[in-house]
A and B are shown apart, each in its own frame.
Chain A
Amino acid sequence: AQRVTQPEKLLSVFKGAPVELKCNYSYSGSPELFWYVQYSRQRLQLLLRHISRESIKGFTADLNKGETSFHLKKPFAQEEDSAMYYCALRRIGNTGKLIFGQGTTLQVKP
């Protein structure tokens, strides 16, 4: 079965501190992994995709197939990073449906 696990419901850090939001997945094939972000009262929007290997707003995520993880990292958190973060999985060549983790609320304190 495909599953995405985000073990932390809430992660609270001070501004300038490093951030790591954990994501583990369970899938037998080759998945596509994504991070979506939802700022207060806004829609879900794509933050990162593992295929592109890019850094967005200072965030990076590396797919580790051995550990089946796709953790989201940022070396120095900013207050504007406070939001809900969802890790999601999609099967390659599938209907395009996304399987989401439970989400982690990141709270960056001043």
Chain B
Amino acid sequence: EPEVTQTPSHQVTQMGQEVILRCVPISNHLYFYWYRQILGQKVEFLVSFYNNEISEKSEIFDDQFSVERPDGSNFTLKIRSTKLEDSAMYFCASINRVGDTEAFFGQGTRLTVV
């Protein structure tokens, strides 16, 4: 069964450093998402991406965040200058079309900012 794959599974970075979280969505999917979950809190939507542009973003997704689909297979989330409060689990998800009811999630990347 096809899966969404995220790398790395755990990333430790120093405050102020840039990080790139990587995701390989399911190959025929067209809509891509990033969510995050701070420890003990709910899963929160960050951004949706379709047709090579952001279709919606949350208040959390400020100028420090960017997303890209550089090569037609990878979908990346970049945090330019990490803060302690960026420490969280980051989930990538994809769906085939908006009317498709199931979103497929990656296993997550745990980001720890020290």
Chain A residues engaging chain B, CB cutoff 8 angstroms: 32, 34, 36, 42-46, 49, 51-52, 86, 93-103
Contacts and interface: CB of A to CB of B under 8 A. Distances in A.
Interface of B: 4, 31, 33, 35, 41-45, 48, 50, 55-56, 91, 93, 95, 98, 101-103, 105-108
A21 B106 CA distance: 25
Contact of A97 (B4, B41, B45, B107): B45
Given A44-B91, A102-B42, A103-B42, A95 B50 contact: yes
Nearest to A52: B101
Interface residues of A, dominant DSSP? loop
**Which of A46, A49, A96, A98 has the most CB atoms of chain B within a 10 A radius of its CB?**
A96
Interface residues of B, dominant DSSP? strand
Contacts of B4: 43
Contacts of B31: 95-96
27 contacts: A36-B105, A42-B107, A44-B43, A44-B105, A45-B105, A49-B102, A51-B101, A86-B43, A94-B56, A95-B31, A95-B48, A95-B55, A95-B56, A95-B98, A97-B33, A97-B45, A97-B48, A97-B56, A98-B93, A98-B103, A99-B45, A100-B43, A100-B44, A101-B42, A102-B41, A103-B42, A103-B43
User: Which 3 residue pairs are nearest across A and B when measured between Cβ atoms?
Assistant: A44-B105, A100-B43, A95-B56
